[in-house]
Every structure is written in structure tokens, then in C-alpha cells.
Amino acid sequence: MLKYRQDDEQVSDGVNLLISILVRYPEIGTISFDPNHESLKLTFMLSGIPSPTEFAAIKRLISDSTAAYHELEGLKIRSTDLQMTTYEQVAMLNVIRDVATLSKSEIAIMIALLRDKFKERLVTDYNDSMLEEDLLVQEELIDNMLENIKKHHAAHGLIGIREDGRVLVFNK
């Protein structure tokens, strides 16, 4: 069994990244880091299940928008995928992105598109006590932690979830 030390920077950066993303973006239900593929999976919850046409449209919109964003930034996306799973009357949209080319701005674009497309159907865990200053600090942390993960290639799988207004992060 692997042992983790409290001062392990790779684990700390990964944990801080997941916490910051979940705190900053209440639309994200869960987030997981896969060190084998160096990717993040962002899961968004929808009340009600989109039709296949709706899903195909949002998948195309997110893919085209992130490709355009990366073209403007001069980056080449290594991997991106959008999947949908359903359970009763809930749909989970999973966006899987490589960490090397992912940015805070890209996450914000995805969320803006999902908000626009799904409006009240996008499950959001708002925290009314968050101040604008706190959100800006989280954005800065996201940028810093993404850069650290890109440079140091974290070796541990992590998953972050929301539960009753709290953010929890576990080793996979």
C-alpha cells in the first residue's frame, strides 16, 4: 500500500487543485485526476436527461469552442472527450481533458456554455458565503496548481466530490 506524507508536494498540489476547482465552480459535481492519462474528468449533473440531439449539440459546441479557444491561445489539444451517463432522471456530463493543455479559462468557457444551454437544469451547489475576493483567490490557485501539476506530473489518482455543501478529496 502506498504511503503519503503530509508534505508530499505532488499530492498537495493535486488536492489543492481539485478543491479550488470545486470551490470556484459550483456547477462541477465531481472532479477526478487520472495520473496514467494525465487527465481531469469534470462531471456536471443535469436534472432531466437531454435528448440525443441535445447531447450531440452540446458536445459539438463544447468541442468547437475549446478548439477555437486553443487556436487563439496557440495551443494544440492533446485529448478531449465529452460523455453522458444517466441514472433515473439525472444525467451526468463528463468532460475529460488532458492536464497539459487545460486552463482555468477553458473551464470557465465550458461552464458558461452549459449554463446557457441548460439554464435551470444544470445542478449547482451555490455557496452564498463566498465573496468575490475568495473567488479571485481560488482562480489564482487554480492557475498555480495547474502549472505545478503540468511541471511535476503528479503520480497519485485523486477524486473530489461535493457533499452537503462540503468539498471532499480522496485518493483513488
Where do the DSSP E strands lie in 35-157? 39-47, 80-87, 90-98
Residue predicted with more confidence, 19 or 6: 19
pLDDT in tens, 98-138: 888 898 999 999 999 999 999 889 998 876 666 666 767 77
Confidence of residue 4 (pLDDT cuts 50, 70, 90): very low
Confidence of residue 1 (pLDDT cuts 50, 70, 90): very low
Residue predicted with more confidence, 72 or 8: 72
Burial classification of residue 148, based on how many CB atoms lie within 10 Å of its CB (0-12 exposed, 13-18 middle, 19 or more buried): middle
Element (H, E) at 135: helix 132-152
Coil, strand or helix: which one is 133? helix
Domain 9-171, what fold? Yope Regulator; Chain: A, (3.30.1460)
Give the per-residue pLDDT at 138: 78
pLDDT in tens, 66-95: 999 999 988 887 778 999 999 999 999 999
Instruction: Give the percent of the chain with pLDDT over 70.
Output: 87
Give the per-residue pLDDT at 132: 66
Residue predicted with more confidence, 168 or 154: 168
In angstroms, the CA 157 to CA 38 distance is: 9
In angstroms, the CA 44 to CA 74 distance is: 27
Confidence of residue 54 (pLDDT cuts 50, 70, 90): very high
Residue predicted with more confidence, 42 or 156: 42
